[in-house]
Amino acid sequence: MRTSLTMAIDSRIYSEQVLYKCFYWFSQDYTVDISIGEGSFYNVLIQPNKENTVVDWDTLAEKVKQQLIDFKLRDIVSNETKTIRELIVAKAFACYDIDTTPQTNVSDPVGFIPAII
């Protein structure tokens, strides 16, 4: 009976951070060892926590792939929006009075901008 799954994951596609965030959620049922492999690859060894557990390895591999993609997507959002997020929080807790009428045309459905009349 197969007792473990080894995956080689390309670090050029998935960062170490993405790997750890992803495999964190597998730690309920599995022990996961992440090590540096050959070239640009990480080796990931996955073993069930409980001995003699019957694992559907194909399904598990699929799930890992799906989760890796999801965590990579989360990583992209998180990196791209880091500054704006900090700005929102900083503005939210800064001691200043917010303009009661923000200067904007976004809620202006017919393109009516008083400033350009």
Partner 1 sequence: MTRKFLHVENFGANIPYYLLPFRFHRINETKEVIVNEVDDFLVVPVGTAAQIIERKINRREDATLYGDLLANFFISEQPIPELIDVLATRYRTKKSFLDHFTSLHIFVISLRCEHTCHYCQVSRVTADKDKFDMGREHINAGIEMMMRSPNPHVTMEFQGGEALLAFDNIVYAVERTKQEAVLRNKKVNYVICTNLAPLTEEILAYCKENAILISTSLDGPEFIHNKNRHKPHSNSYQLAVDGVMKCRQELGEENVSALLTTTNLSLQHPEEIVDEYVNRGFRNIFLRPISPYGFATKNAGKNKYQTTAFLEFYKKALNTIISYNLNGYYIREDYASIILKKMLTPFPVGYVDLQSPAGIINSVIVFNYDGKIYASDEARMLAEMNDFTFLLGDLSVNTYEEIFYGEKSMELAEVFTNESLPGCSDCAFQSYCGADPVFNYTTQGDTWGHRPTSSFCQRNMEIMRHLIELMDSDKKIEKVFRSWITGKTDAIKN
- Can you give the binding site for partner 1, defined by CB under 8 A? 21, 24-28, 69-71, 73-74, 76-78, 80-81, 84-85, 87-89, 91-93, 98-99, 102-106, 110-113, 116-117
Measured distance CA(101)–CA(108) in Å, rounded: 13
Tell me how far, at minimum, the Cβ of 66 lies from partner 1, in Å. Answer: 9
Which is nearer to partner 1, 65 or 74 (by Cβ)?
74
- Alpha carbons 29 and 49: distance in angstroms, whole number: 6
Shortest distance, CB of residue 65 to partner 1, whole angstroms? 13
Helical packing angle, 82-93 and 57-80, nearest 10°: 60
